[in-house]
Structure formats: structure tokens, C-alpha cells
A and B are shown apart, each in its own frame.
Chain A
Amino acid sequence: MPSTAVIDFDSTKPTSPFYTDSHREWRDVLRRWLAKEVAPYVEAWEAAGEIPLALYGKAAEVGLLGLGYPERYGGTSAGIDHFHHIVTSEEAAQIGAGGVFASLMVHSIGLPPVLALGSDELKARVAARVLSGERHICLGITEPDAGSDVANIQTRAVRDGDDYVVRGSKMFITGGLRADYVTAAVRTGGPGYGGISLLLIELDRPGVSRTRLEKMGWWASDTAALYFDEVRVPAANLIGAENQGFLGIVLNFNGERLGLAASANAYARVCLVEAARYARERRTFGKRLADHQVIRHKIAEMLRQVNATQAYLESCAWRVQQGETPVADLALLKVQATLTMEYCAREAMQVLGGAGYLRGNKVERIYREVRVNAIGGGSEEIMRDLAARQLKL
């Protein structure tokens, strides 16, 4: 008699001491919300290349957009910790469409510098409108000739009276096609990281143009190249002090890496669950795939890697919660998580065989999204190098 034991996202996760009632309740609410408001439309949004703008408002209502942001701007921060963020990444991943969340949650990289360093006037002008889903903000660091080497940024902002005049371009900008604002790294001073500022640029200003970028995965994300041709921006839009932008950019990275690792490992777990489900259904050579040793060992190996990564993730999150900034471990955690995602996507595809290669299933989509996770937010190579430097070898 075939086993009826449950093998799903929850059952494969080890019990963890870090989650309390509010984490569990948030998981429940978010799961219901996603099942009703997002999951049924994923295929259509992927095909359309964007998510409907109305989704931002709905996400604001359920508390998703405001997660971790100050109450003053419509967010929820009291009692919120990194594990609420992990829960959010995990639930989002179970829908199996990274592009939807990349654009829905793009403010999570664009807004923090404004809140950390911006003037009260700027925060009041931008934050509440972004967290209510009425306006959208993206982050513009990467350029055709600069990315992780932030110090090499070439987009220039030249002071002219009460304005800056911006000239240059930004590349691979998630959510850039429809965003209202970009938090942009611009060069206001001399060469190197000491000459970089952060500037909020409204994207409806004269001289801004944008081009849609077609991608391997993340189809529902409106990723763009942004061009600035003599764009006049009020100096009041400067985020923090002039030539002090580098720190703001780097501060952002550590939190982003924890989130990226949480979601990459959750995608790996989705692949594991999908592979196990299929292996129990599909029969070859007179028995279930799951009864072939070569297949069942694949499932066990995926589980080993996913749960080892989960332990590393939760340990890092706990340390950050205690006030530590474990730079090397956060960088290596991201490497660990995306390698696990890559491994599980590959192995799940092997288990699903032809069924996995067909369009319209989670594993196929996750397989196409491996690279954006392994590269975006700091590539594996950059992460290892960063960790090695921290070790002072």
C-alpha cells in the first residue's frame, strides 16, 4: 500500500525555536492571501510581463508592503523581527514565481536608504505613498560599467543652483519600467567611493527614458534600463549628505542578502517537495519513481542540503537580531542558499523529466530563476571574495 505520509513545505522543515505565535499567524494570513490574490494569476502575469498595479494596494492592506517599516509611514515595525521576513520570503517562494515578488517588493531595496539617511521632508514626501502601494520606488546602483564595484559609478550629478543635473544610465533595474522614483547612486564628487551620493530621482522628470529588458526568468518583473539625459532634480532630493552615499548602499546589502538567502532556500524546498510529489505518483519499470534507489537518494540529498542551509539561515538571522553584523557569514549564506537552489532545481528537473521541461510548472520556472538569485544582490564570486577579505587571509 502506497505511503500517505505528508511531504510538503511545512512537514520537511525542521522544528525551530525562533518562531512565535505572531510568526505563525502572519504565515497563515499571508498564505491565504497569496493563494487567493496571487497564485491563480501567476501564469497570466508572467505572460503579460508585469503584475497589475492594483496588487500593490492589496499587498499594502494585508500588511505585506509595510512589513518592518515605521508605523509613522503606515508600516508595522513594533514586534517585527527578521523571522517575520523569513516567513514572508518562504511563503512568497511557494507560489513559485520570483518575478512577481521582485516587482511587488522592490521598495524593500529602494526605500531603506531614504528612511535611513533621508531628510524628514523627503521621508514624509515618499515613504507613506510607497508603503500604501500608491507609488513605487526602485533602486538604481548598477550601470553598464559598474555593479558590485560601486566605487566605479559613473552617472554624474552636477550641482546647478538649487538642482542637480543628472547624466548617465542605470542597468538591470528591477521594477524600473513603472517605478515613480529611483534611489540612484550618482557621482557628485571625485573618483572612488568618496565621491558618491544617493539621490531620489522622480522618473517622470524631463530627460528620463527607460527600456524594457527581456529576461531568462522573472518575467513578471518589469526590469529596465534607465537613461538620464540632463535631468534636473531638486537638491532637496539628496538622500543623506553629499559624497556620503557609499555607506548607505553598503548598509542595504546585508539585510538584502539575508532575504535573498531565505527565498533561494525556500525555492530549493519547493523543488524538493515537487520532486517528491512527482516521484510518488509517476510509475516506471513497474514501480513508483520513489521506489527507485537512484531517485529516492536524490530526494534525500536535496533534503539534506535544504535543511542544512535552513539551519545556517536561521543562525545568521538570530545573530543579526542580537545586533551582530556577520558580514562574512551573510555573504557565504547567500552562496550556500543559491547553490542549494541550483542543485535542487537541477535534481527536481531530473526527477520530473519531460513533465518538468514543460512550461507552466513551478520547477521549470524556478530553474530559470536560479541565475538571478545566484547573481543579483552580489554574485557568488563577489560573495566569496568579500568573505575571504573579512577573514584577512
Chain B
Amino acid sequence: MKILATVKRVPDPETSIKVKPDGSGIVADNIKWVVNPFDEIAVEESLRIKEKVAGSEVVLVSVGAKVAQEQLRTGLAMGADRAILVVAEDGLEPLAVARVLVKVIESEQPDLVVMGKQSIDDDSNAVGQMAAELLGWPQATFASKLELAGDQKTATVTREVDGGLETLSFPLPGIVTTDLRLNEPRYASLPGIMKARKKELKEIEVGALGVDVAPKARLVKMEPPPKRQAGKKVASVEELVHLLHTEAKVI
């Protein structure tokens, strides 16, 4: 079967992020960029299916700047077969990304699309759902377990919901978005890195797809969270209670 997994280039979650003084975005210099951790889980899940179902192919797709090649190479080094980069130097909104993905999906015709439930930079949590809607495909979001029927015609997905687990079953093709506990992604390996250099990485200019990617929203301002204030030492329980009441106003 053919599985399409998404890979977004995002700042390393361990990098300290600085907001530009004019609030127009983040300072992109000196940031380490990685594969969106939820997408890494999507790639891993795709590779596990490939290992189980003989003759499967895992295709990666990224929508973003040309430098996102690096993240696609990482996914190829993990074991994916080939990659597609839709080059869009300016960041796209979720609906635009969903429309671009739909174009890629229509041309690739995968049996299953696995994507991160959200990217850790914009946290929109929207593209998977939007793409499924645009395609008229079934979707199962926040998957913590994914199983395929023996004939690979049906997927069963467990989702962690408030108060328990929900199990959904749907006919393929469909879209699954991954939650944190779905799997623990493998490391790319040295032989994987060397082999990845010879794998196909196709680039498509976003303009060539003929979809409307014009932004519908305008970024007004980005600002860093307020600096944490220094703590205060108190001499007695009485003083603590008094301050909690008068200053912090929590009791």
C-alpha cells in the first residue's frame, strides 16, 4: 500500500525562541530546525506499516521553504522511500496547506495519509481535518493506536478522549493524525543518512498547483510571554495569608 506522511520544518522545541522587536515574527537566525515531533511520529507509523505490509511505499510531503529539504532528508534517512517538497517560501495558512496537500494526494493517490495532529510552532491543529473535508475522506484525529485490517481496506484508530478511549473504524483511503503516544520514533541511522542522499526528492513550486493560497488572516502582533517576576519571601504564615488575600487576591 502507499502511505503519505507529512513533514513540517519547525524550530527545535528545545531552542529558546525570541520574538522580533517589531512583533512581526520570531528571530529565525541561530535556531536549530527539526521535523515537527508529531510528524516524526507520523513517519514512524508509516514505516511500521511498510515493514508489516510487503510492497508498501512511504512518500513524504512537506509544504514550506526550500530549506525544508533538510527535514525531508531526515525522514528519508529514517527509511521513507521518496519525498515531495511543495516550495512556498512564505508561510501558508492551514487552509492553504490543506488545499496544497489535496493536490498532492490527488496526484499520488495514497491509501492512507498520516500526519501530525498539529505542528509545534503554529499549533493550529487544522490541516488534517481540512484536507479530509476537502477530499470527502474519513478522518481520525489524535490517534494513539492505528491498526489495519488484514486486507488493508479498513483502518481502526484509537483516540484518547476525555475520560477514556474512543475507537473508530473507517474504510480507506483516509487521513489519520497522530498523538504523542502513538509510537516512539526511531533514530535515523548512519546507513540511512547515506542512502537518503540517493533517494528522490521532488520539488514543486506552489504556484504550479493552481490553488488559492492567499492569506485570509493578518498577523497583527507577536509578543513574548510576560517575564516571570521574582518571588517574595515572607516572615510568617500570617503575612503569607495577608498577601495572598490583598496582593495575589487568590483567597
Contacts and interface: CB of A to CB of B under 8 A. Distances in A.
Are A and B interaction partners? yes
A66 B73 CA distance: 21
For the residues of A in contact with B, the DSSP-based class is helix
Interface stretch (A25-33, A48-56, A313-321): A25-33
Contacts, number: 47
A80 B193 contact: no
Q: Classify the secondary structure of B's interface with A.
A: helix
Given A6-B30, A25-B77, A62 B189 contact: yes
Contact of A29 (B30, B70, B188, B197): B188
A148 B30 CA distance: 46
Interface string B166-205: 0000000000000000000001111111100100000000
Chain A interface bracket (under 10, 10 to 19, 20 to 34, 35 or more): 20 to 34
Nearest to A74: B191
B74 interface: yes
Contacts of A84: 190
B30 A63 contact: no
B188 A21 contact: no
Contacts of A22: 193-194, 197
A26 B191 CA distance: 10
A29 B77 contact: yes
B190 A67 contact: yes
A25 B30 CA distance: 17
Contacts of B70: 21
Given A21-B73, A62-B187, A29 B194 contact: no
A33 B30 contact: no
A354 interface: no
A26 B73 contact: no
B190 A63 contact: yes
Interface of B: 30, 70, 73-74, 77, 187-194, 197
Given A33-B187, A61-B189, A80-B194, 20 more contacts: A6-B30, A21-B73, A21-B197, A22-B194, A26-B193, A28-B74, A29-B188, A29-B193, A61-B187, A63-B190, A63-B191, A63-B192, A64-B190, A66-B191, A71-B191, A76-B190, A76-B194, A79-B194, A79-B197, A80-B190
